[in-house]
Structure 1
Amino acid sequence: MRTDQNKDVVRRLIEDCVNTHRSELLERFVTEDVRVHPGTPGTAPDTAGLDALRKAFAGFRTTFPDLRITPDQFVAEGDLVSLRWTASGTHSGPLAGIEPSGRHVTWAGTDTYRLADGRVAEWWRNDDVVWLLHQLGRDLVRPGG
């Protein structure tokens, strides 16, 4: 596939699945054996397979039911697409041991996708977890400390 077609697959994955919370459409955009690699060490193991990705989507929807990803920039080369994005949502469910705060938060990140036969086969996630946790009242580094 051409790089512009690969970018369109990722764009549609975000718009048609993530932003509408329609995990039943994932199979249109990801392979059955898709592998998602978390970008923050120690946060979660790799997610392997379409069913596991659906479960992860459901969990994230519980945490941020109004989650919205805004694509800021796409870069593509060969079978790889990178996306710089901004996310926002209301913290309405548990997140990494943090009880729901009701706070509306915004954070950014970059994801890289490897496509095979027109669908995402691998997905590397990199969220600005430090900023997200700061907004939820969980600073990892305290000033002067």
Structure 2
Amino acid sequence: MTRDANIQAQERFGAAVNSGKLDEFNDVVAAGCVDHDPAPGQGPGPQGFKDLFTDLRSSFPDLHLEVEHLTATDNDVAFAYTVTGTHQGPLMGHPPTGRAINIRGMQIGRFENGKLVERWGSSDQPGHAHPTRTDPAAMKIIRALATGAAAGAAGTTALNTLTYLDMVWRARPASSTPEATVKKLADVTGVKIPGNDEERTNRLAGLGPLTGLVVGIGVGAALGFTREAGYRPGLLGSSLAAAAGALIGGNGPMTVLGITDPRTWSPVDWASDIIPHLAYGIVTGAALHALDPAASRPR
């Protein structure tokens, strides 16, 4: 057979893969065809190829083989290719993930009488397995939590900055309520803070501000999660939700433990607490929108 006939046979093979008309393999693959690099579980001859691509098309209904470069001699056809598809059905025991694959590879086929008699191939197997490694829904949640945490960290920086500026402006000392809250919480839960008196005092001095960081980042992460779950308020709504969450998360434990009583606060006390939390809300809300690609999509 001629070089052109071999190329035509290879093209019919590729068309069968793309169309799903796999009986075409009977005309272009020899009964005794030897695949030197078979897929896992692939049988011999035309039936082996039919079974393989039947399974693949079941897993990837939009499976498509694109030949990028082909060269041929009187007996051999070699080509580079890319296989694409979307994982919509079970694959080797793995449930569908909805993820796309993009597999690149090369193949050499030897032909006799217009039929494939030997095949050698190499492909990007890690790319083939990629859709089954990670649950995309879990990755979306992780990404949403990380995005929210980053937004919360930005908001916490704004809150701390205004708090420190207020200390400078009014020459007031740092609040001791975070440390007192940690100490009271440790007493209530029976958790012992290790060290002598001085060491415990120093540890409390560090743990107090850390609780603020945990609240700020935690509120941001929670808002990131709710956005992924479908609650996507506008910038104002996000900012108010963040500010309210930080106020409740920060002042709630102090109030419940009896460290402070907001009913006794002066107007100045309220202002020094609310203004930094509003700054937290504005920055956190803005960061959530800036880091969320869906927020900028037309609705």
TM-score by length of 2: 0.41
Alignment of 1:69 onto 2:77: no
**Cα distance, 1:50 vs. partner?**
2.1
Residue in 2 aligned with 1:123? 119
Q: Which amino acid aligns with 1:83?
A: F
Deviation at 1:71, TM superposition (A): 0.7
Contact 1:36 1:47 in 2 (8 A): no
Greater length-normalized contact order (CA 8 Å, ≥ 6 residues apart): 1
Compute the displacement of 1:104 (Å).
1.9
**Matching residue within 104, 109, 113 for 2:109:** 113
The answer to which structure has the higher helix fraction is: 2
Residue 115 (structure 1) shift: 0.5
Deviation at 1:126, TM superposition (A): 1.7
- Residue 18 of structure 1 aligns with an amino acid whose one-letter code is V
Equivalent pair of 1:38/1:46 in contact (CA under 8 Å): no
Q: Which has the larger radius of gyration?
A: 2
Identity score, percent? 26
Structure 1: state its 5+ residue gaps: 139-145
Instruction: Return the letter of the residue paired with 1:68.
Output: H
**Could you tell me which residue of structure 2 aligns to residue 3 of structure 1?**
3
Q: How does 1:24-35 map to 2 (within 5 A)?
A: 24-35=23-34
Alignment-derived partner of residue 143 in structure 1: none
TM superposition shift of 1:90 = 0.9
Aligned partner of 1:132 among 118, 128, 134: 128
Deviation at 1:22, TM superposition (A): 0.8
How many residues in Structure 1 have an aligned counterpart in Structure 2?
Answer: 134
Specify the code of the residue in structure 2 equivalent to 1:119. K
Q: Provide the rounded CA distance (Å) in 2 between the counterparts of 1:96 and 1:124.
A: 23
Is the CA contact (8 Å cut-off) linking 1:3 and 1:78 kept in structure 2?
Answer: yes
Query: SS at 1:78's partner residue?
Result: coil
Q: For structure 2, which runs of at least 5 residues remain unmatched after alignment?
A: 135-299
